[in-house]
Structure 1
Amino acid sequence: MFVKLAVAASLVASVAAHATFQELWVNGVDQGSSCVRLPASNSPVTSVTTPDIACNANAASSKGVCQVLPGDEVTVEMHQQPGDRSCANEAIGGAHYGPINIYMAKVDDATTAVGSSAKWFKVSEMGLPSSNPDYWATEVLNDNCGHFTFKVPSDIAPGNYLIRAEVIALHVASQPGGAQFYMSCFQVNVGGSGSANPPTVSFPGAYSASDPGILINIYEQLNSYQIPGPSPYATTSPTVAATPYPTTATWNTALQPSTVPTAVPTAGAKGIGKA
């Protein structure tokens, strides 16, 4: 891995580089923030043992429930500031490099379910998505206007679910407690007639502060990266967009194509920052 150097002061991360998942799309149709439990701030959770690791701290309640079907393509959307959906701004900036994880949990009532009491199964993940060791999943978000798309498993049982979308920022993860977790929970109802109940984990409980994908120095040479948590259920690894979406507020609804980039689409070296 190319050594990432601390360069200009402008690359030092700030609070503005923090971010939240704010919106949901179903099969390319924008659901907005109608079914998200929006976190109270864009600050990260840093402890894997707090109940906040499930659905973030002081997340607002929501009465909205988005309708999905098994096999639907669902897109979660991240931005730095509430209500800012501009593609001209990075979804998560400040050298906040790391993986993306998507979990689901079957619950009795998505509007009242407690995330830390739910049982979660992973449905999608992305860490280092190509042979380029400097190109992280968070840069896929930045190249795609904050969008990350996954498929609802085709065989899961109908009913209410929570979707947990998560970025783990690793820019200061070389010390215990340095990894930063940015997550939001979305409330959905899954239709269909499936019957599968995948194996699950709990939050807190799924991660340890010493997991190799959480306690890690990403500025050293990496031959591989182990994404925290279980393997995704009944899904394949997502593909990566070859080119960024245009810098407008209108999203190109095409999903990430199969071409994987081999070069980082950025200018200059990456800096080490903390926020």
Structure 2
Amino acid sequence: MLSTIALLTTLLFTPVTSHGGCLNYTVGETWYPGYSPYDDPTPQDAAPWMPQRKWTTNEPILSPTNTSLACNAPGDPARAYIPITAGQTITAVYMYWIHTVGPMIAWMARCPHDDCHAAADATALSWFKIGQRGLESGTIETGVWFQGSFSRWDGGPSLWGEKVPEGLEPGRYLVRHEVVSLHSARKPQFYVQCAHLEVSGEGRERPGDEYLTRIPGVWSMEQPEINIDIYAPGVSNSTVYNIPGPPVWKG
């Protein structure tokens, strides 16, 4: 865990680029570091306090069948866990997010034997949604999406919070934050990061099969919501966008 001041300093001096990702997390008033693809990997790879899985590029993943879709590339397991109680909110922290169109989905997956380090292959896990944000108002092309409304341009962090379901069974999980940007016609861009969570609480619930999916596997170019041209007649002026995949599990 790093102090708030140290983390904010890191955020403010992160290079501004055309793409980005989740750089930090908060639970309540406590900040936790993310992996920085812009900085020297050696100390980060060895850091005992790092809860986020390794990612080495801020460029998007362009194929819904790419194995990196699970936890980015290379997706190496982290050494630490973010402690959180079921019912609390985990907030993903982004900086200078410039895209504005497309859904944002937060996922979790239970690590077998409560060992997320051993569960190196995130493609083999069963993922469930804990939250999703999409079109908030207006039309698909020119309306307000959460992806656009959460962005800040005053130098402050863009914050995306989702609640860990209150009834969730305690254990160790991966949390995965995914942004799907749809501004390029029929060329979706996927931005994902994963972190390790240690969930506590009195819950005893698990999501049923209807909420579970594999990643990759949940998205397909056969889905009109993914293989979409937001500028096409009949699409651009639509006021409805249904996020594909399983429903959100709220416990």
Between the aligned partners of 2:220 and 2:107, the Cα distance in structure 1 is: 17
Q: Encode CA deviations 1:109-165: one digit per residue, 9 max, x unaligned.
A: 122322111100000000112346521121133137221001110111111000010
What RMSD over aligned residues (CA atoms) do the two structures have, in Å? Answer: 1.9
- TM-score, length-scaled by structure 2: 0.76
Does the 8 A contact of 1:40 with 1:60 survive in 2?
no
- TM-score, length-scaled by structure 1: 0.70
1:50 positional shift: 2.0
1:60 positional shift: 4.3
Q: Which residue of 2 aligns with 1:112?
A: 118
Pairing 1:103–2:112 present: no
Higher relative contact order (CA closer than 8 Å, sequence separation 6+): 1
Does the 8 A contact of 2:139 with 2:240 survive in 1?
no
Task: Give the AA of the match of 1:125.
Answer: Q
Identify the structure with the greater helix proportion. Answer: 2
Task: State the identity %.
Answer: 30
Does the 8 A contact of 1:169 with 1:180 survive in 2?
yes
Q: Which residue of 1 aligns with 2:18?
A: 17
Between the aligned partners of 2:17 and 2:32, the Cα distance in structure 1 is: 25
Structure 1 pair 97–17 and aligned structure 2 pair: CA distance change class (3 A): farther
Structure 1 unaligned regions, length at least 5? 1-14, 80-89, 236-275
Does the 8 A contact of 2:77 with 2:116 survive in 1?
no
Equivalent positions of 1:209-228 (< 5 A) are: 209-219=221-231, 220-228=236-244
Q: Which residue of 2 aligns with 1:57?
A: 73
Structure 1 pair 21–112 and aligned structure 2 pair: CA distance change class (3 A): farther
Equivalent positions of 1:62-73 (< 5 A) are: 62-73=78-89
Q: Which residue of 1 aligns with 2:44?
A: none
Structure 2 unaligned regions, length at least 5? 1-15, 35-49
Paired residue secondary structure (1:55): coil
User: Aligned to 1:78, which of 73, 77, 94?
Assistant: 94
Does the 8 A contact of 1:212 with 1:226 survive in 2?
no
| Residue correspondences, number | 206
